[in-house]
Structure formats: structure tokens, C-alpha cells
Chains A and B, each alone.
Chain A
Amino acid sequence: MTTLQDPPVTTTPPARKRGVPAVAIGFGLAAVALFGVAPAALGDFRLGLLAKYLCIAIVAAGIGLAWGRGGMLTLGQGVFFGLGGYAMAMHLKLTDAGPGQLPDFMQLYGQLNALPWWWRPFANPVFALAATVLLPMLVAALLGLLIFRRRVRGAYFAILSQALCAAMAIFLIGQQGTTGGTNGLTDIQGFFGYDLTDPVNRRMIYFIVAGALLAVLGLTWQLMRSRYGELLVAVRDGEERVRFLGYDPANVKLVAYVAAAGMAGLAGALFVPAVGIISPAMIGVVPSIEFVIGVAVGGRASLVGPALGAVAVAWAKTALSEKLPSAWTYFEGLLFILPILFLPGGLASLVTLLRRRRLSKKEAA
């Protein structure tokens, strides 16, 4: 029987070989682009959109780790994104409403007299902030334990994570009185005391998102070049061999899966002030697949490929849908097909290809 696991994408250069200075320079350049060039070149609206793209890039960095390095195609990142987003939005809705008051939609649809018990802790900013990352990680850990221990993987895992999205979205929609239903949590006014309608504060949100992305990439880099990173790749390429070597692949996978979930949660939490809304529409099957496509385009196994790919795809989506509102879906479809078909290593593999070509030219000369 053939396995349902994708073979390794061989175009990844091991992160360890690239020296620390090179990576430091890379991070420096990225910081200049994100903190210097982008805010100077873009107006408020476009910068706001970039903040949204960067949120997606954070999710993508996590998927790169889980899928590119760990071989787990997680089509369920929407769930963790949603958990982080809802945790943040619940806190902000409660602050908007003021102490002792109910959020607006609860009075409208829920006809509740008191806050439901599971909303209450989110009034505390420390709890809410911690929950945006820890809650998704906790859920991922529980689910991952159940799934990986029983060696569910490959396509099974992908389909299962997809079904999780569908179930979670339907469930949230069903609880309209306490979750806002299909509407989600909208009309978020303030962010820890700062007025979100003020363009200055919105720029600040952008800087926070950009900083978070750099931090996440730094963390991913550390994970990838560590001993654990090697183990993760080994599990991807030959799970049974790793098992025979005395490691438990389930634990190795679990760490990457939980880390990816935490990143998705963080992204969801930042998405809320950046866009001003979180709704089940961001959790379902479709957005979860769209998270993945940027990773595939950028280069799933590389460090910055997923993030760059996510930004590129999100930007292309906006640009195409603005130019061709009724025909852009064709191009979106092609965006899924062409890169994967012709550039399996993603844009990142282009760099390696070019470098290799240059090397061979040098040798020839």
C-alpha cells in the first residue's frame, strides 16, 4: 500500500548551514522593509490591508513548520485562528461595553441578563491575552494527542482537520446569543484603551503585527535549526525509522502542531484589532484552505517562504478582486494550480535554483 504521506520536498537547504550572520542580515532587511519602507510608502488603507496580510503570514509561518517541516497538512488552522480571535474580541467587546455591562449583541439577540460564565474571565486583560495563544495550543494538544498517538496521518489527518473547521464554524453560528452567530463579534471600538477609529492607533496596530511576525519567524528559525528541528524533518521523511531509533514520533509531531496552533491563535488575536471583526466565516473550510495556499506558493519548507507566499497571495487576491470583481475567481483557481504544479518547492526554491545555477556557472568557468 502506498503511504498517504507526501515525500519530502528536497529543495530545502538545511537552516543550520546558513550562517547566523546571514540570517541576522535577513531579519534586518525584513525589519527595515516592514517598519521603514512599508509605512512610508503606503497610505492608511493599504497599510491596514498589509496588517491583515501579515496576520495571515503568521498563520502561514506555523503551517510551514507543521506541514513543510513536519509533513502534517493541517487544513484546520481556521479553528485556532478563530479561538485566538474570539478570545481577543471577547475581551475587547467587554471593555467596549464597560464594566458590568453586556456587549451590545447580547442585549439584542441573547436577551441575557448576566454575562455567561465562560465570558467572565475574558474581562481580565492578562487572562484574555494569555488565552489567545494558550487556548489554541491547549485544544491542539488535546486533539493532537488523540490523533497522533493513534497514528492518524497524511490525508486522514487533513480531512479530519477540515471536518473540525466545519464543525466548529457551525457550532459557533448556532450559539448566536453568546457568540454573535454568523455575524461574529463586530464593531470593535477600542484596543486596550486606544481608540481604533484613530488612524494613528491603526498604524500602531500595524507595527505590533509586524513585530509579532518577526518574533514568530525568529522562533520558527530557532525551532528549525535546533536538534528538535532535525528530528521533525526526520519524522516527516521516515516516521517508522525515527520510531526504531527510540523516539516517539507522536510527541515530535505534537510540538510542531501545538506551536503552529499557538501562532494561528496569535494571528487571530491580532487580526481582530487590525480588521475590527472576527466571525465564523474566518474559521470554516474555505479560509483554512486559503491559509495553506500561500504556504505552498511561498515554499512550504523554507523559513520565510510561507510568510512571503501568504502576503503575496493575499495581496494578489485583493488586487485581482478589485480589478476584476466578477472574473477574479478564475485567477484565484489558477493560483492554486500553477505554482504547485510547476514549482513544488514554492518561490523559495527559485532562490535555491538560481544559486545552484550560479554555482555551476562558476565551476564551469
Chain B
Amino acid sequence: MTVVLSQLFTGISIGAVLLLIALGLSLTFGQMNVINMAHGELIMFGAYTVYVLQKVISGAGISLLVALPVAFVIAGLMGVLIEVLLIRRLYARPLDTLLVTWGVSLILQQAARDVFGAPNVQTRAPELLTGSIHLTDDLVVSSSRLFILVLALTAVGALSVVLKVSPLGRRIRAVVQNRDLASVSGLATGRVDRLTFFIGSGLAGIAGVALTLVGPIGPTMGTNIIVNAFLVVVVGGIGQLKGTVIVAFALGVVQSMVEYTTTVSVASVIVFLVIVAFLQWRPQGLFTLRTRSLA
């Protein structure tokens, strides 16, 4: 029983990381239909932000807190730059965006290698976030994962408030549901796109900051995680925040349970099969945006 419970916690903590990575995508991919393969490199920007800040600010805890907003802005601006220079020209061709941003990701990786060196770099975590919290004698939750969970849920909360309540959110939803109608209604769709992209990319930056607590910080860190993040958004249903949240946790739990009983390589195949089976049942993802459009 303890094993099941502790794997459940592990699954939730894997899910929290997945969620944080996929959250930005649920905006740029989910809401705007832009497949940004350089999203992983925006995450990398966030992680390197922590590294650079720690050269200036010595306290590990403070530098991490400062890094959150700084990384949000840096990754966000980088995202907007990509949007303005490249993606804007390709809104009518989402699949081409995928290839173009893959090129961007190659360039950003090499740039990171040239600026920071090919080896991974080190950041310090505040002592508070390197230990664990004992719920019972056997049941342990690592504090860094707990931090990521809280961070992810906060981000989800903030994002859904923005989308539901704020004028910006209303505009985003209007553009997502019917771009042409929004445009003829006088909405500056270009500006809305850029703002959406800013927030989505900024969230990648925040994810990068959080990942420094659990993973490596190096030029290729983005590539390792990006495929799973896209899967989360696809299975969750495009344009649906709640789908992303539920699927991130579900995948985390499935992964941890299967992995505990088999091996990592078998687990990854089983997870893929589960996803294909799931899409048989719900081809448009867990939640779909109802629309009368034909396609």
C-alpha cells in the first residue's frame, strides 16, 4: 500500500514538472495552433537565467525568486522575437512553423554552447528545497517537487484567471475561436497574438527556473523534454487548459506506476500505446472546443 501511495506521489510530482513544461505550450500550441519546437530552448533560457543571476546574487533562495520574474520576461521577449520575425509569417501554415522553429532551436542550442560552453552548468538550490518532507515514516515527498507543484498550480490559477476574467483573456479567446470575426470586429489580432506568445513563452522561462531544481542545465536540456510536453497538450485537447492539467498528472501517474513494475523503456512504449488507445476514444483530446466549423 505504501508503495502505491508513494508512487502516486511520485506520479503527481512527475506530472507537476510535465504540467509546468506544457503550460506555456497549451497557450502557444493550444490556443494559437503554433507548433513551437523552440519551446524547449525557451525553457533553457529560463534555466540559464538562474545560472547567470547566481553569479550576481549570492543567496540561492533569493536568486531563485528573482529569477522567476526575470526568466519570465526574458523568455517571453525571446518568444515575441521569434513570433515577430518568423511565426507571424506562417500563421496559415502551422506545420511549416514546426520545421522553422526546429531550425531556431538548433541555432539557440549552438548559441548556448558557444556562450556558456558545451558542458552543463551548475546552479545552487536553496537548502530548503534540496531535502524532503516526511508525511509518515515511509512516505516522503521531496520539497523541490512540492515547490514545483505549488508553482505549477499557481501558474495554472493565474493563467485561467487571466483567460477567463481579464480583457486580454477575452480577446485571446475571441481570436482563438474565430480569428476573422475578431479581426473584423476591430480587434488588433496581431497584438493579441504577440501578447499570447509573450505569456506562453514566459511560462517556459518559469518552467526553466523550476527545472534547475531537478535536472541538468545545458544546451540540450530542451530537446529531452519537448516531445512529452507536446503529447500532453495534444491528449489534453487543443485550446483547453483543464485538459492539459488533467493529462499531465494522469501521464505522470501512469508513467510512475508502470515504471515501478517494469523498466523505463517498456514504460515509455506502454505510455505511447495508452495514448494511441485514448485517441481512439477521444480523437480530439480529452476536452474539445465545440465549434460548428467543418474541419
Contacts and interface: CB of A to CB of B under 8 A. Distances in A.
Contact of B102 (A7, A239, A289): A289
Interface string B85-114: 010011011111011101111110110000
Contact of B269 (A170, A285, A289): A170
Contacts of A15: none
Given A171-B269, A340-B99, A150 B279 contact: yes
Contact of B227 (A3, A146, A152, A166): A166
Interface of B: 29, 33, 35, 86, 89-90, 92-96, 98-100, 102-107, 109-110, 176-179, 223, 227-228, 230-231, 234, 238-239, 263-266, 268-269, 271-272, 275-276, 279-280, 283-285, 289, 291, 293-295
B239 A160 contact: no
B110 to A, nearest CB: 4
B227 A162 contact: yes
A70 to B, nearest CB: 12
Nearest to A73: B95
A337 B269 contact: no
A1 B234 contact: no
B295 A240 contact: yes
Most central of B179, B234, B275 by chain A CB within 10 Å: B234
A1 B90 CA distance: 17
B230 A159 contact: yes
A4 B283 contact: no
A173 interface: yes
A164 to B, nearest CB: 7
22 contacts: A6-B92, A6-B93, A7-B93, A73-B98, A151-B283, A152-B279, A154-B95, A155-B35, A155-B98, A156-B284, A173-B265, A174-B263, A289-B102, A293-B99, A293-B102, A296-B99, A332-B106, A333-B103, A333-B106, A334-B103, A340-B90, A344-B93
B190 to A, nearest CB: 16
B99 A160 contact: no
Contacts of A334: 103, 107
A275 interface: no
Contacts of B102: 289, 293, 336
Contact of B95 (A152, A158, A286, A341): A158
Contact of A166 (B104, B268, B294): B268
A348 to B, nearest CB: 16
A1 B239 contact: yes
Contact of A4 (B33, B104, B279, B280): B33
Nearest to B176: A1
Contacts of A344: 93, 96
Contacts of A154: 94-95
A4 B94 contact: yes
Secondary structure call for the B interface: helix
5 closest residue pairs by CB, A with B: A336-B103, A174-B265, A333-B107, A333-B106, A3-B295
A30 interface: no
B283 A150 contact: yes
Contacts of A129: none
A7 B96 CA distance: 11
A340 B96 contact: yes
A337 B98 contact: no
A167 interface: yes
B234 A329 contact: no
Interface in A88-130: none
A171 B272 CA distance: 11
A2 B33 contact: yes
Contact of A296 (B96, B227, B234, B289): B96
Contacts of B231: 159-160, 163
A264 interface: no
Given A7-B93, A155-B35, A240-B294, A167 B103 contact: no
A147 interface: yes
Most central of B33, B239, B271, B285 by chain A CB within 10 Å: B33
B110 A327 contact: yes
A155 B94 contact: yes
A251 interface: no
Nearest to A168: B269
Nearest to B110: A329
Given A146-B276, A239-B295, A337-B104, A330 B96 contact: no
Given A146-B276, A166-B272, 13 more contacts: A4-B33, A6-B94, A7-B93, A156-B234, A156-B279, A159-B35, A160-B279, A170-B264, A175-B265, A286-B223, A296-B96, A330-B106, A336-B99
A216 interface: no
A49 interface: no
Interface in A175-230: 175
Interface string A231-250: 00000000110000000000
Most central of B96, B176, B266 by chain A CB within 10 Å: B96
A148 to B, nearest CB: 10
A177 to B, nearest CB: 13
A312 interface: no
Contacts of B280: 146, 150
A335 interface: yes
Contacts of B89: 341
A292 interface: yes
Contacts of B100: 336-337, 340-341
A344 B95 CA distance: 12
Contacts of B285: 156
B192 to A, nearest CB: 14
Contact of A2 (B179, B228, B264): B179
A5 interface: yes
Contacts of A162: 227, 230
A88 B228 CA distance: 31
